[in-house]
A = this chain, B = another copy of it.
């Protein structure tokens, strides 16, 4: 049995553990919440803070292979563990780059990867020197997460909203589509690319509505996106499972937005709709086994199950019966006891040859399925 440690105990860890049971792995999870989604599915749960040097070090020394399900972990500890001979996937150097939006952008530039024009600002007063980039997005170098640490600066009068710490000022791209490409990288360097996923946003709420695979793009753009994703992950020189998020503009250009060096929300549909899921794929990488088949069985659509507005407390699910009556509809709840407005409580995957029909089903799900409190 290979001892595998996962830093973080959220839903991504949970789904990783569902797949883990197939492999000769003894699973360890560290998280600071004993009721987290992954806590009950691992062999050994360790209470600890994934951002703390000592906690990560002590945890890592108890396993043979270490991976993450969230980027915000203590990289100093991971670097020492790597020196001590623990296999860390992805490599700590990748996490160091990705944790800092400034280093991430510089990495793209150094590797000739297309990304929106930008400059680095050390403080708020420097913004006035870069008006040519406006309208722009100002992103904190470190500390931003899940929508925090990002602000939009449309015009000069918005500059006081900018950050007074090291940050990236990035020209706003006129986005036609947002897509994500998952790539698996074996320890040998072999890669497998999943077909691209398209994020569909609610035009009113400006929130992710659902994701469709494959993206509605022509084969040339699809090939370019795959090539770009491979070029990017090869530059990292690290095994792992990577989700590469890109913007497509109206001229057919592709711009790398962000990379996550881990299993990702944009790959949930692969559980049912692809021969080898992103979770199974990562286990093959962690165990040093051959990569699986990333191709799609059928087109698919993934919609998050979010806590309904106005409800905070013990979660209850309304409408599951109607949703699971849809052909090839699959439920994944994350085992979170409490709901709150907008909290990711689970997801639903639909599979089918007719993508437009899947989209109609998704609209149906949005009206029928509700996470409330009894």
Contact = CB atoms under 8 A, between A and B. Distances in A.
Interface of A: 1, 14-15, 17-19, 21-24, 40-43, 272, 275-276, 280, 284, 288-290, 292-293, 297, 317, 320-321, 324-325, 327-328, 330-333, 335, 337, 346, 351
Contacts of A337: 1
A25 to B, nearest CB: 9
Given A21-B332, A288-B321, A289-B324, 8 more contacts: A18-B18, A18-B19, A18-B21, A22-B331, A22-B332, A24-B317, A40-B43, A290-B325
Given A275-B351, A351-B275, A321 B290 contact: yes
B328 A289 contact: no
A293 B22 contact: no
Contact of A22 (B42, B330, B351): B330
Contacts of A332: 21-22
Interface centre among A17, A42, A320 (most CB of B within 10 A): A320
B317 A275 contact: no
Contacts of A280: 330
A333 B14 contact: no
Contacts of A317: 24
B324 A284 contact: yes
Nearest to A335: B21
A22 B333 CA distance: 5
Contacts of A22: 330-333, 346
Contacts of A346: 22
A18 to B, nearest CB: 5
Contact of A297 (B23, B24, B292, B297): B297
A186 B320 CA distance: 16
A331 B331 CA distance: 23
A335 B280 CA distance: 16
Interface centre among A21, A276, A290, A293 (most CB of B within 10 A): A21
A15 B20 CA distance: 11
Q: What are the 7 tightest A-B residue pairs by CB atom distance, in nearest-first order?
A: A290-B325, A290-B324, A22-B332, A289-B324, A18-B18, A40-B43, A18-B21
Contact of A289 (B14, B17, B293, B321): B321
Contact of A331 (B23, B327, B335): B23
